[in-house]
C-alpha cells in the first residue's frame, strides 16, 4: 500500500494544499459536528435561563394579583366614613360595603376552585381578574348605595374565580423546587402583609384623592396583570369534572338572606315580616344546600369532611373568630375618624400595631404548635380575644388612642395569631392529599361567610343602640357581642376540640389525634416563610 494514500481514519492529516474536495468536506462535517456539540451544550443552559426568567416574571405577576385581592378586603375600610357621608348609607346598611364582597367571595369560592380545575387555572384566573377589574371601575363610579353594593358583589364574584387559582399558578410558574419554595414563602408574606398595606393605602387614597380611588386603583394594576399573565404564566392541565351550580347558588343566597335578616333587624326590628322572612328563607336555602350536597355526584362540600367532630368544630371556631374580628376593623375605623378626629392616613397607621402583632406572633405560633399542639394555643388565643373585645367595649368620647385602644389592639393581634395557625392544623389534620384543596377552600369559605354573618349580627346590635349623630352609644353592646362570639369559640376549643380517647375499634382517629404530619408540614412552611427576607 502506497504511503502517499491518505485515508479518513488513519495517517497524518494532509495539508490544505494537498487535500481533495472530499477530504475538505469530511473536515467541514467534523467541524460542523463539533460546533453543533458546543451549541447543543449551550442550548439547555440558555433554555433554563429563559425559563427561570419567564418563571420569575410570571410569579411576580401572580403575586401582584394576590396582593390586589387581599388589599381589597381592607382598603375600603378606612374610607367607610367618607362613603357613608357621600352616598347616604345608614349605620346598618354601611356593612353591606364589606359584606357584599365577602359573601360573593366566600359563597362562590369552592365553585371557583372547581372551574379552575376543569377549564384551566390560568383561564379561570384571567376571567376572574377581568371581572374584578371591571367591577372596580364600576364601583369607583358609584353614585348611590345600590350601585356600590352591586359593584362590590361583582368584585367578590371575580375574586372567587381568580383567588383559588393563584396558589396553583404560583407553583406552576416556578421552574424548580427551590423557586417553588421561594414562591410559596412570598405568597405567604404577601397574604399576611396585604391587610396592613390595604389599610395604609386606603388612608392615603381617601385623604389625598378620594374614596373612589380605593376602587379605581385596581383598574390599572388589573389591566397590566392581565396583559402580562398571558405572556409569562403557564396554563395548568385540565381535568374532567362536574359543577355543583345548585350548591353554589343555595349556599351563597342562603348566606345573603341571613345577613339581610340581621341588617333588617337593625332598621325594621326583629319582628318585622322582612326580618323574619329573610331568616326563614336563609334557613330553607341552607337546608336545600345540605340536601343537594348529599345527593349530587360532585358536591362543592363533601359532607363527610364536616361530619368529623374536630374539623367541624374548628371551622365553627374560625367563623366565630373572623366574624368578631371584622367588627374590630369596621367599628374602630369609624371611631378613630368620627370621635377621635383621626385622618384616614392616621387611621390606617393606627392599625399597624395590630398587624405587626399578628405578624410577629405568627412566626412564634408555628413553632409552638409543634411543641404543645393546637388546642392550648386555641384556648389562650380565644381568651385573649374575648378580653380584647371587652377592653374595646369601654371606649367613650373621652378615650384616647394610646390609653384605651393601643393595648387592646395589640392584645387582639397577638391572640388572633395564636388562633389562626392551630385552626389550620386541626382542619387539615388527617386529610387525604386528594382532598387537601377542597378542605383548604372550605376553611377560606368559613372565614369569608363567618366574617360576613358575624359582622352583620354585630352591626345589627350596634345600630339598634345607636343615637343619630353620635357614634359611641352602640359601641359597648357591639363589642360585647364580639366578646360573646369569641367566648363561644373558647367553649368550642375547650369541649368540642378535646382529644377523644382512641380505642381499637376506631377505624380512623380524629384530626386532633392524627395532626402530627400536617403540623410538621405547616410549621416547616411557616418557617420557610418567616426566614424569607
Average pLDDT over residues 478-496: 94
- Residue 236: pLDDT band with limits 50, 70, 90: low
| Nearest C-alpha neighbor of 445 from the set 278, 294, 247, 262 | 247
- Residue 126: pLDDT band with limits 50, 70, 90: very high
| pLDDT mean across residues, the chain | 80
Q: What is the percent of the chain with per-residue pLDDT over 70, rounded to a whole number? A: 78
Higher-confidence residue of 71 and 386: namely 386
pLDDT digits (tens, 9 = 90+) for 149-176: 999 999 999 998 888 888 778 766 666 6
The pLDDT of residue 255 is 85
- DSSP annotation of 433: G
The pLDDT of residue 130 is 95
The pLDDT of residue 422 is 87
**453 touches 102 (CB < 8 A):** no
List all residues 6 or more positions away from 463 whose beta carbon is below 8 Å from its beta carbon: 90, 91, 92, 266, 267, 474
pLDDT digits (tens, 9 = 90+) for 430-473: 776 656 667 777 888 888 888 888 888 898 899 888 787 788 98
Average pLDDT over residues 268-296: 90
The pLDDT of residue 83 is 94
Average pLDDT over residues 498-507: 56
User: Cα(116)–Cα(132) distance, rounded to whole angstroms?
Assistant: 16
Higher-confidence residue of 285 and 178: namely 285
Q: Is the pLDDT of residue 147 over 70?
A: yes
pLDDT digits (tens, 9 = 90+) for 113-122: 778 877 888 8
Average pLDDT over residues 352-375: 84
The pLDDT of residue 8 is 36
User: Cα(263)–Cα(458) distance, rounded to whole angstroms?
Assistant: 10
The pLDDT of residue 527 is 40
From residue 357, give the alpha-carbon distance in Å to each of 161, 193, 294, 360.
31, 12, 42, 5
Higher-confidence residue of 297 and 513: namely 297
- Residue 136: pLDDT band with limits 50, 70, 90: very high
What residue spans of 240-272 are helical by DSSP H? 245-268
Average pLDDT over residues 115-138: 90
The pLDDT of residue 87 is 94
- Residue 95: pLDDT band with limits 50, 70, 90: confident
The pTM (predicted TM-score) of the whole model is 0.76
The pLDDT of residue 188 is 65
pLDDT digits (tens, 9 = 90+) for 403-422: 999 999 999 999 998 998 88
From residue 122, give the alpha-carbon distance in Å to each of 104, 117, 138, 361.
21, 10, 24, 34
pLDDT digits (tens, 9 = 90+) for 170-202: 766 666 667 666 776 677 667 766 777 888 889
Q: What is the dihedral of CA 454, 460, 465, 470, to 10 degrees?
A: 90
For 336, the grid coordinates are 378613630
- DSSP annotation of 492: I
Q: What is the percent of the chain with per-residue pLDDT over 90, rounded to a whole number? A: 34
Mean pLDDT comparison of 5-14, 31-40, 250-259, highest-scoring range: 250-259
- DSSP helix, strand, coil percent of the chain (3-state; round to 5): 80, 0, 20
The pLDDT of residue 525 is 44
The secondary structure of 396-412, three-state, reads CCCCCHHHHHHHHHHHH
The pLDDT of residue 321 is 94
The pLDDT of residue 21 is 43
Higher-confidence residue of 260 and 184: namely 260
Q: Is the pLDDT of residue 37 over 50?
A: no
Q: Is the pLDDT of residue 533 over 50?
A: no
Amino acid at each position: 500500500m502506497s504511503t502517499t494514500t491518505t485515508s479518513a481514519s488513519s495517517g497524518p492529516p494532509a495539508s490544505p494544499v494537498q487535500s481533495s474536495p472530499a477530504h475538505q468536506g469530511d473536515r467541514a462535517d467534523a467541524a460542523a459536528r463539533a460546533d453543533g456539540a458546543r451549541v447543543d451544550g449551550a442550548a439547555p443552559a440558555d433554555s433554563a435561563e429563559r425559563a427561570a426568567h419567564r418563571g420569575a416574571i410570571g410569579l411576580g405577576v401572580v403575586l401582584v394579583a394576590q396582593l390586589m385581592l387581599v388589599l381589597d378586603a381592607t382598603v375600603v375600610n378606612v374610607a367607610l366614613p367618607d362613603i357613608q357621608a357621600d352616598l347616604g348609607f345608614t349605620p346598618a346598611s354601611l356593612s353591606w360595603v364589606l359584606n357584599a364582597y365577602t359573601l360573593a367571595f366566600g359563597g362562590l369560592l369552592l365553585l371557583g376552585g372547581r372551574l379552575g380545575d376543569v377549564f384551566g387555572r390560568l383561564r379561570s384566573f384571567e376571567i376572574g381578574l377581568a371581572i374584578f377589574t371591571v367591577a372596580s371601575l364600576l364601583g369607583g363610579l358609584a353614585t348611590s348605595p345600590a350601585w356600590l353594593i352591586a359593584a362590590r358583589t361583582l368584585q367578590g364574584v371575580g375574586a372567587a374565580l381568580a383567588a383559588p387559582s393563584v396558589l396553583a399558578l404560583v407553583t406552576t410558574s416556578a421552574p424548580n423546587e427551590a423557586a417553588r419554595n421561594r414562591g410559596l414563602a412570598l405568597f405567604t408574606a404577601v397574604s399576611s402583609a396585604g391587610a396592613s398595606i390595604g389599610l395604609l393605602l386606603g388612608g392615603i387614597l381617601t385623604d389625598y384623592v378620594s374614596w373612589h380611588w380605593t376602587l379605581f386603583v385596581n383598574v390599572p394594576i388589573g389591566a397590566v396583570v392581565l396583559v402580562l399573565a398571558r405572556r409569562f404564566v403557564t396554563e395548568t392541565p385540565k381535568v374532567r369534572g362536574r359543577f355543583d351550580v345548585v350548591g353554589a347558588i343555595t349556599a351563597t343566597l342562603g348566606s345573603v338572606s341571613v345577613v339581610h335578616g340581621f341588617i333588617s333587624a337593625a332598621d325594621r326590628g326583629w319582628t318585622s315580616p322582612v326580618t323574619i322572612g329573610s331568616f326563614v328563607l336563609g334557613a330553607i336555602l341552607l337546608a336545600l344546600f345540605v340536601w343537594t350536597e348529599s345527593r349530587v355526584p360532585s358536591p362543592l362540600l363533601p359532607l363527610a369532611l364536616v361530619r368529623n367532630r374536630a374539623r367541624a368544630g374548628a371551622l365553627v371556631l374560625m367563623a366565630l373568630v373572623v366574624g368578631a374580628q371584622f367588627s374590630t376593623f369596621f367599628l374602630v375605623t369609624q371611631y378613630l375618624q368620627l370621635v377621635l378626629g383621626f385622618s384616614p392616613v392616621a387611621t390606617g397607621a393606627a392599625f399597624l400595631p395590630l398587624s405587626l402583632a399578628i405578624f410577629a406572633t405568627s412566626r412564634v405560633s408555628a413553632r409552638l404548635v409543634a411543641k404543645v399542639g393546637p388546642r392550648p394555643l386555641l384556648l389562650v388565643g380565644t381568651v385573649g380575644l374575648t378580653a380584647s373585645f371587652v377592653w374595646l367595649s369601654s371606649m367613650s368620647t373621652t378615650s384616647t388612642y394610646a390609653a384605651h385602644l393601643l393595648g387592646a389592639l395589640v392584645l387582639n393581634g397577638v391572640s388572633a395569631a395564636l388562633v389562626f395557625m392551630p385552626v389550620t392544623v386541626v382542619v387539615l389534620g388527617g386529610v387525604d392529599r386528594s382532598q387537601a384543596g377542597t378542605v383548604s377552600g372550605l376553611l377560606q369559605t368559613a372565614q369569608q361567610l363567618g366574617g360576613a354573618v358575624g359582622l352583620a349580627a354585630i352591626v345589627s346590635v350596634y345600630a339598634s343602640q345607636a343615637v343619630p349623630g353620635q357614634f359611641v352609644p352602640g359601641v359597648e353592646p357591639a363589642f360585647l357581642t364580639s366578646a360573646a362570639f369569641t367566648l363561644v369559640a373558647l367553649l368550642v376549643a375547650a369541649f368540642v376540640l378535646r382529644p377523644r380517647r382512641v380505642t381499637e375499634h376506631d377505624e380512623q382517629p380524629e384530626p386532633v389525634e392524627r395532626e402530627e404530619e400536617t403540623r410538621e408540614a405547616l410549621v416547616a412552611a411557616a418557617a420557610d416563610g418567616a426566614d424569607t427576607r
